[in-house]
Every structure is written in structure tokens, then in C-alpha cells.
């Protein structure tokens, strides 16, 4: 499983755009990049997933350069409720043995300041 590196913590003011970058230098050809969000006292929740270029949904955008050795999660106009831990994960698609494993690192603790 590819190892990921992301900042331990970030602070941002309300209304600003937040970009969290994740490094995954040994990403494999079949690997997808996925981000999860975890609020205190809750389980992680899927935010977004991508393979290359840019993916956008109602919550966030994910930017992946051509070499795929890093990715950036972009949260537009954050609010206090976006305060959470954000995990970057890299893993390969279904291998035939069932769902593949997720390896969570320590994540990035985002604190949104009023």
C-alpha cells in the first residue's frame, strides 16, 4: 500500500479556501486517491475520490497532477463546521478478493477560526 504524507495540522479563517496537499510518491498505476473527513466522536466519512486531473463534487475538489505523486484537497469557503481531521488514502481497485484495504495515516487536523 502506498504511503502518504500530509501536514499534521492547519488553521484557517471562516470563508477562506483551504488546500490540503498529500504526497504519495510510490503510488501504483492502479491506485485511486481518496479523502475522508472525521469529526470528533464520529467515524470517518468519504469526501471525494479521484484517479487523475480534477474531480469536483458538492463538498470539495481534488486536484491530481499528471505524475500523480501528490494530490490537493480543496475546500471552498470553509465554515466552523468544517473543523475536522482529513485523511488522504491511496489504494488499488478491487482485486478479486473483495474490497481492498484502507490505510489511514494520522491525517490533517483542520481548525477553522471565526
Partner 1 sequence: DAGVIQSPRHEVTEMGQEVTLRCKPISGHNSLFWYRQTMMRGLELLIYFNNNVPIDDSGMPEDRFSAKMPNASFSTLKIQPSEPRDSAVYFCASSLAGLVYNEQFFGPGTRLTVL
**Which one among 52, 54, 77, 106 touches partner 1, defined by CB under 8 A?**
106
> 8 is written with which cell numbers?
499534521
Per the CB < 8 A criterion, the answer to whether 71 and 54 are in contact is: no
CB atoms within 10 A of CB 24: 21
CB 14, min distance to partner 1, A? 27
Residue 29 or 114 having the CB closest to partner 1: 29
Give the footprint of partner 1 on this chain (CB under 8 A). Answer: 32, 34, 41-46, 49, 87, 91, 93-94, 97-107
Amino acid at each position: 500500500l502506498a504511503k502518504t504524507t500530509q501536514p499534521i495540522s492547519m488553521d484557517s479563517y471562516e470563508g477562506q479556501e483551504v488546500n490540503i496537499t498529500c504526497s504519495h510518491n510510490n503510488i501504483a498505476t492502479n491506485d485511486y486517491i481518496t479523502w475522508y473527513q472525521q469529526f470528533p466522536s464520529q467515524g470517518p466519512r468519504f469526501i471525494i475520490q479521484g484517479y487523475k486531473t480534477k474531480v469536483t463534487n458538492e463538498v470539495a475538489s481534488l486536484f491530481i497532477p499528471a505524475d500523480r505523486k501528490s494530490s490537493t484537497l480543496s475546500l471552498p469557503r470553509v465554515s466552523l463546521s468544517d473543523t475536522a481531521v482529513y485523511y488522504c488514502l491511496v489504494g488499488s481497485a478491487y482485486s478479486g478478493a473483495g474490497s481492498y484495504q484502507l490505510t489511514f495515516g494520522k491525517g490533517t487536523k483542520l481548525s477553522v477560526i471565526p
